[in-house]
Amino acid sequence: MIHGPYGVLNKNSPCTEDGTCTKEFPKEFWNETAPNKDGYPRYRSRDTVVIAKAGKYEIDNRWDAHIDVEVCATVKSIKYLFKYVYTGHDCANIKLKLPAKDGAIFAKTLEWDEIKAHLDARYVSAPEAVWRLFQFPLHDESHSIIRLAIRLPNMQSVYFAEGNKLEALYRTTEKDTTLIASFKLNRGNSHARIYLYHDISNHFVFDRENKWKRRQQGRKGIGRMYSISPRDTERYHLRLLLLRTSGACSFEKLETVDNEICQTFLDAARRRGLLCNDTEHERCVAKAVIF
């Protein structure tokens, strides 16, 4: 997070109050990390004279520059990503009125103070009150989400540091993706062949050895295949085949239709009837010509 101009340089900044920053910028230098009074740690920030470049400018916060940097590590950063979970309590609009007084003068006079009338109030319904009084759980977890890879043959992702390409390539060949591991599972476990690719995670778990093993603790899982753009033709139709074909032991099995290996996953999906085309209409017209 980069903290922009505040204080004298920008009096309209949301963090500016009485000419200073309410977020306590600029931060002071500290030689060691220590807990702070509000529960958040005060991180070590030594005076190392480190200079950061932003465009053509060099920034150093030792001189109280107008730009300061801090890691977003509070619950507010989570709130930004998952707003609904942290929306807080329900609110209600409340309008305050003075009771009517006797006399024509008071009846025609309305005293209205918007500042005093505004209340940051909380609305608690009867069901919520009972739920909290009995200390029932407010949230829970049911399923774990497993992301399932969709890669074409010999098209796995390889991550490597500079000068470490061969070692990274070797590690990739030794490490199976969730898809390759599912092929191996189907070859060695006949019971697993009844499941579709995205249903395997309901009954098996992908362990640290990159293998699918049967679940022992009864926990539930949901397999989620990555979305593929139709522009990526082969991967898109590979995903389509995996959604409709169970027990695949290899890429060749997915491409095989009526004991014939198709040249592409697109052809295999078309021959399996997974794509909308005019083939059925053409057959109907061809048969109609005979009669």
Q: What is the pLDDT of residue 273?
A: 85
Q: What is the pLDDT of residue 39?
A: 59
In a domain, 73, yes or no: no
Cβ-based neighbours of 213, under 8 Å, separated by 6 or more:
204, 205, 207
Q: Is 242 exposed, middle or buried (0-12, 13-18, 19+ CB in 10 A)?
A: buried
pTM of this structure:
0.53
Alpha-carbon gap, residue 17 to 22, rounded angstroms: 6
Alpha-carbon gap, residue 44 to 34, rounded angstroms: 8
pLDDT digits over 220-278, tens only? 888 999 888 888 999 999 999 999 999 889 999 999 998 899 999 999 998 888 887 77
Q: Is the pLDDT of residue 47 over 50?
A: yes
In a domain, 188, yes or no: yes
Q: What is the pLDDT of residue 240?
A: 92
Q: What is the pLDDT of residue 103?
A: 53
Domain count, the chain: 1
Q: Is 274 exposed, middle or buried (0-12, 13-18, 19+ CB in 10 A)?
A: middle
Alpha-carbon gap, residue 40 to 71, rounded angstroms: 12
Q: What is the pLDDT of residue 27?
A: 72
Structure tokens at 116: 């005093």
More confidently predicted of 231 and 25:
231
Most confident of 48-57, 169-178, 219-228: 219-228
Question: Whole-number mean pLDDT of the chain?
Answer: 78
H or E, element range at 140 = none
Alpha-carbon gap, residue 270 to 266, rounded angstroms: 6
Q: What is the pLDDT of residue 97?
A: 64
Mean pLDDT (whole number) for 190-219: 89
In a domain, 228, yes or no: yes
In a domain, 289, yes or no: no
SS3 of 62, please? helix
Structure tokens at 274: 């997974």
pLDDT digits over 108-152, tens only? 556 677 777 777 777 888 998 999 899 998 888 888 888 998 989
Q: What backbone torsions phi and psi does residue 68 show, to the nearest 5 degrees?
A: -130, 155
In a domain, 268, yes or no: yes
Q: What is the pLDDT of residue 182?
A: 92
Alpha-carbon gap, residue 189 to 183, rounded angstroms: 10
Across 221-238, b (16+ Cβ under 10 Å) vs e yields bebebeebeeeeeebbbb
- Domain extent, residue 242, equals 144-283
Banded pLDDT at 10 (limits 50, 70, 90): confident
In a domain, 98, yes or no: no
In a domain, 38, yes or no: no
Q: What is the pLDDT of residue 236?
A: 92
In a domain, 219, yes or no: yes
Q: What is the pLDDT of residue 120?
A: 72
Q: What is the pLDDT of residue 106?
A: 52
